[in-house]
Each structure stands twice: as structure tokens, then as C-alpha cells.
Amino acid sequence: MKSLSLPIAFLFAFTTNAADKPTHSAITPEPRGGNWGKRHESFNQRVAQGNVDLIFIGDSITHAWESTGKNVWTEYYAKRNAVNLGIGGDRTQHVLWRLDNGNIKNIDPKVAVVMIGTNNSADGRNTAEEMIDGVTEIVDKLRAKLPKTEILLLDIFPRGQRINAQRGKILQVNQVLSKLNARQHVTFLRIGHNFVGSDGRIAKDIMPDFLHLTPKGYAIWAKAIEPTLARLMGE
């Protein structure tokens, strides 16, 4: 595979202060309508009950821990007081809004697992730099609101059967996001390569639509993060 390198200016932009950057959609908190609001409110009701030691934050891939990944979730996370805060279709801006509006209110989880950004990656939505801004803003907000929580930031998973422009864009974003690992209470973990074969292709028995996971895919996810997660949970 041809190596992907980032222009120096692109890397420099990541190091500049967020306040110096122009506002764009990926960092502007925004709610969605319809059933999204109902699910958001259900999260608020659940966290209000307390007893939350582990949270998963993300989009449809995280959301589906409740369906396709249910058995794996039960095996790995049910006894860890885990709460799924994933909503299908979410982009970084929607997660930012949720974090400001009750999804993590009055809780003190040991670990927050974050995997978000793929829905920002489509053409015409956000640039790679804007995606980086969005994910970084989520990490910053979690650090501010949950100062004792360890953040396990996962790379944005690959998508598309073969290497393509969108997957390449995601790889560029992940390359820069990995630098967040240097921050206090933030661990960046690459696991996306576990879904890709040696030929660069994604198999249908892992991602039938080359985006969303099968039960096998969720098992791969859980096993890949388990050693790091257990350490961060203090187990």
C-alpha cells in the first residue's frame, strides 16, 4: 500500500490553539430530531440512576453493541456497569451537543471509550483537519467534564471493501489523532487494522456493508481493547 504522509502545514494546524481556528460544523454542537432525541433522553435517564463505571461514546457502530454485538457486550461489559451512549448517524457535532446536555451529567466513570468521526468523513461534509478538530473537541470536553475519567480513544475504523479516498482520509485523521496519546488521562489505541486482511480488503463476515460490524467484528473489537481497557479500569 502506498504510504500516506501529511503535509507539514496540516500537522502544524493540529498544534495550534483551537480558539484560533475558524468555526465549522464538526466543532459546533448540534442536536438532531426524531427518534434521536428520544434516545438521547433515555441516556440522560440512565446516567441519572448512577452506577456507571464505563461508557462507550459513538455512532451506529457503537449503537449496535445493543443488537449485533449484544452477546459480546454481555460477556465483556455487563458486569462492568457499562452504558452505551452510541447513536446511529451521529457526527462529532452531535456528540458534542449530547455531552453538553446531560449524557454525562453527575457521573464519574472509570473509563470512556470513544470511537467517532466516520460520518464526518463523506465528501462535502468535513475536511480531514475539521474531523481532527471535532474529535479533539470531544476529548477536550470529556477531560473538562470528567477530569478523573480515563479516555480510551480508538482510531476511526476503516470503511470500504478496498483502500479508497475515504479510507485514506480516515487514515490521515487517525495519524494525527494518535498524538492525543501524549495528553494526561488519554490513551489512543489503533485497532482498525484488525478488521482488514493482508490484501487490504475488509471481509464481509466482519463488515457485511464494509462499515458496520457483524458479531465476529464485535468480538474482534472487544478482544483488541481488552488488555488496555482492563488496565485503565484498574482491574
The CATH number given to whatever domain includes residue 168 is 3.40.50.1110
Q: Give the model's pLDDT for residue 22.
A: 77
| Residue 17 belongs to some domain of the structure | no
pLDDT at 226: 99
Q: Which of 60, 100, 178, 185 is catalytic?
A: 60
CA dihedral 58, 62, 64, 70 (to 10 degrees): -140
Examine residue 15 and state whether it is found in any structural domain, yes or no. Answer: no
Q: Establish whether 212 is a catalytic residue.
A: yes
Closest among 124, 119, 123, 112 to 56, alpha carbons compared? 112
Residue 4 is assigned to a structural domain of this protein: no
HSE, side-chain direction, 13 A CA sphere, residue 107: 27
- Annotated catalytic, 140? no
Distance CA 212, CA 164 (A): 17
Per residue of the chain (235 residues), give pLDDT as tens. Answer: 444 445 444 544 454 444 566 799 999 999 999 999 999 999 999 999 999 999 999 999 999 999 999 999 999 999 999 999 999 999 999 999 999 999 999 999 999 999 999 999 988 899 999 999 999 999 999 999 999 999 999 999 999 999 999 999 999 999 999 999 999 999 999 999 999 999 999 999 999 999 999 999 999 999 999 999 999 999 9
Classify residue 7: in a domain, yes or no: no
Cα separation of 161 and 208, whole Å? 9
pLDDT at 191: 99
Asked, for residue 205, whether it belongs to a domain, the answer is yes
Catalytic residue check, 60 = yes
Quote the domain boundaries for residue 121: 24-232
Domain for residue 181, yes or no? yes
106 occurs within a structural domain? yes
Domain count across the chain:
1
Q: Does the residue 8 lie in any domain?
A: no
